[in-house]
Structure 1
């Protein structure tokens, strides 16, 4: 009796299962390859590497089968699914990716015989070797966030993405709200320091951090703004344009490299090459190979500066609201020397 009562209680209020007619199969499967994306360039130290292939398939009624091929060879087949309408594959490992061009093909067939094929053409390049004197850091943003000199992947905060266009290669970095990249500064900092990159400004929001290497601010942990160490390269609204500014901590104080109107970029401008250099005695900001401001100073102090932020002032330079930059960045390089103007112009010309 107790068992019977319990079963009655458990069934109380539950409607009987009603079979639902899914209707006719209207559409073929939808296939999306998430990795490797079409146009991706992979560049690491090893000549042969494994990669993990990731894709997803959706169908209005039921997926019957999925096949993945790499360079014409079947590497994965699936015909049994927990969810027959939405399948996510994120653990298909291909162990023998060599240097050169590759083609990944994913084909799905539904139970009505409708078929969809998605193709990703990508490239595994030979290991990168620095091409410029003093080059210690290079991020081309060609579909991933790998720094190629050390072959280290940057830490992603939020949801940065890619622009679908670039100056060099198939892609560039595209910022997003509350999003940026970070990278350890080990091996990057010295008495001399330079950076070059291409920049396509998005003036909304009207101020943002671009490249920041700042120390923690123990006195203002919720709104850090310690400008006595490191560097802060950022932009701000200037009568409808965006003005580039460089702030450098000298240990006992700070130095500003502010070119006023000469450092302005029009809000609707196309790509420009941006560069800045730091030596023991001078700091200079360039736009398209031309000096927009040069100042004398006593040198940078890097104490406590162990983090590089790309595309935002966060997490260590937010006190003035220089947060995520929604602009595009391409071909970011850092050097352990103060580049000359001629070197900067030569780098610019080589990219065009």
Structure 2
């Protein structure tokens, strides 16, 4: 690589005016002094990144960009102090965009350092701290789904990212961060492991009464007769809220395959938004009974022939959309935290144990 380069700033034929005077020439100049140290941008991992995969080791795809005002001399990437990548020749001598794959990253805290030098001896070093965490182990009997919303929409049992619709966000939660709803935001996840004969869901909810009705959790079938305003309720379930005076009332609708069953606790299922408090909500569905709990107390229950999951291939979180939109139960602007789903019908004692373990 040459250490000195010229830049052509004017190019053309030598020209003369009508009177024979000289008017133009080719000018070649050396670049200006190297005044700026290289720029190093690490795009992944970022500071504080938590890498969660089921495997004990994984491949880390390090993505970074290095540039200089004159010319790069070298780039060195170190992981936990050990050099894992080095470059001293560049197709573009001023810039390198690179994804380097480091195999066999183990659990624990890690330090990534990227150092870049230019020809004048100036150097820049950027460092990020990240962690590959132990695979999540379900805490409770029958727990098959856990979404803590701690700064990401990652379900930890299957290690799957939710599909993001609209612009939901995060807020302070019961533990760590929580899901913060927006006017059109919600999440969806596949339900291939959730459609069981017994089903329970438990989570914390801090209600925002605007809008006056909203979906919370929905696993419903497509409404082929009304695809733009779906509301077919013979299968799956719909957990939602509606205004009851100044309060918000929690309601559950469950499909048994040929019809629907309602679990509406009336005033017992009301939440007072003015209290601005976290309320624990749980639903428990078996082959013979269904119940709704607020803060560990039964607010609605009754006999039930069993849920039918036909066509229920997506779980919606934070909205009734897209499968329960016909009555306007769309995005909630409330907070949701510590969402867990079970392949069993939780008892009141089991629900209380979860509350006691997670209570803010």
**TM-score bin, normalised by smaller chain:** 0.7 to 0.9
Q: Check conservation: 1:242, 1:267, Cα contact below 8 A.
A: no
1:187 and 2:193 correspond: yes
Name 2:263's counterpart in structure 1.
257
Mapped to 1, the partners of 2:332 and 2:91 lie a distance apart of: 41
- The answer to whether the 8 A contact 1:284-1:291 is kept is yes
For 2:230, the equivalent position in structure 1 comes to: 224
Whole-angstrom CA distance in 1 between matches of 2:60 and 2:173: 25
Question: 1:323-342, aligned counterparts within 5 Å?
Answer: 323-342=330-349
Q: For residue 315 of structure 2, what is the aligned residue in structure 1?
A: 308
The answer to whether the Cα contact below 8 Å between 1:235 and 1:243 also exists between their aligned partners in 2 is: yes
C-alpha offsets along residues 269-296 of structure 1, whole Å, 9 cap, x if unaligned? 2332211101122221112212222233
TM-score (norm 2): 0.74
Name the counterpart of 1:175.
181
**Gapped runs of 5+ residues in structure 1?**
1-24
Contact 1:29 1:109 in 2 (8 A): no
CA contact (8 A) 2:48 2:128 kept: no
Does residue 131 (structure 1) correspond to residue 154 (structure 2)? The answer is no
CA contact (8 A) 2:111 2:127 kept: no
Q: In the superposition, relative to structure 1, how do residues 105 and 290 fare at CA in structure 2: closer, same or farther (>3 Å)? A: farther
Structure 2 CA distance for partners of 1:114 and 1:195, relative to 1, 3 Å: same
Q: Quick check: which has more Rg, 1 or 2? A: 2
The 1:295/1:101 distance shift into structure 2, 3 A limit, reads same
Q: RMSD of the TM alignment (CA)?
A: 3.8
1:321 to 325, 328, 335: 328
Question: What does 1:132-281 correspond to in 2, within 5 Å?
Answer: 132-163=140-171, 165-168=172-175, 170-262=176-268, 263-267=270-274, 269-281=276-288
CA displacement at 1:268 relative to structure 2: 5.3
Shift of 1:259: 2.2
Could you tell me whether the CA contact under 8 Å between 1:106 and 1:119 is conserved in 2? no
SS of the counterpart of 1:347? helix
User: Against the structure 1 CA distance between its residues 304 and 76, is the aligned structure 2 distance closer, same or farther, given a 3 Å change threshold?
Assistant: same
* Paired residues of 1:69 and 1:104 also in contact (CA < 8 A): yes
Offset of residue 101 of structure 1: 1.8
Distance between the aligned counterparts of 2:188 and 2:71, measured in 1? Answer: 40
TM-score, scaled relative to structure 1: 0.75
Q: Describe the shift of the 1:125–1:244 C-alpha distance in structure 2 as closer, same or farther (beyond 3 A).
A: same
Query: What displacement does 1:261 show?
Result: 2.8
Structure 2 residues not aligned, in runs of 5+ = 1-34
User: How many equivalent residue pairs?
Assistant: 326
Give, in whole Å, the separation in 2 of the partners of 1:230 and 1:282.
15
